[in-house]
Amino acid sequence: MDYISTRDAQASARSFTDILLTGLSPDGGLFMPAVYPTITPELLDDWRALLASDGYAALAAEVLKLYVDDIPPRELEEIAKRAYRTPVFADEEIVPVTRLTDGLYIAHLSEGPTAAFKDMAMQLLGELFEYELGRRGEEINILGATSGDTGSSAEYAMRGRDNIRVFMLTPAGRMTPFQQAQMFGLDDPNIFNIALDGVFDDCQDVVKEVNADAAFKSKYAIGAVNSINFARLLAQVVYYIAAYLKVTETNDERVSFCVPTGNFGNVCAGHIAKQMGLPIDQLIVATNENDVLHEFFTTGEYRPRSAAETHATSSPSMDISKASNFERMLFDATLRDSTVTAELFGVKVKEGGFGADDLGEEVLARIRGEFGFRSGTSTHADRVATIKRVYDEYGVLVDPHTADGIGVATQCAGDVDTPIVVLETALPVKFADTIAEAIGQAPEAPERFAGIMGAERHVVDLPNDAERVKEFIADAIESTDV
List residues with catalytic annotation. Answer: 118
Measured CA to CA, the distance from residue 209 to residue 308 in angstroms comes to: 20
Helix count and strand count (H, E) for the chain: 20, 13
3-state secondary structure of 27: coil
* DSSP-derived secondary structure for 124-183: HHHHHHHHHHHHHT--EEEEEE-SSHHHHHHHHHHTT-TTEEEEEEEETT-S-HHHHHHH
Measured CA to CA, the distance from residue 199 to residue 214 in angstroms comes to: 25
Could you tell me the sign of the dihedral formed by the alpha carbons of 56, 58, 63, 68, in that order?
positive
3-state secondary structure of 63: helix
Measured CA to CA, the distance from residue 85 to residue 93 in angstroms comes to: 9
Alpha carbon 60 to chain centroid, angstroms: 17
3-state secondary structure of 230: helix
Measured CA to CA, the distance from residue 107 to residue 157 in angstroms comes to: 22
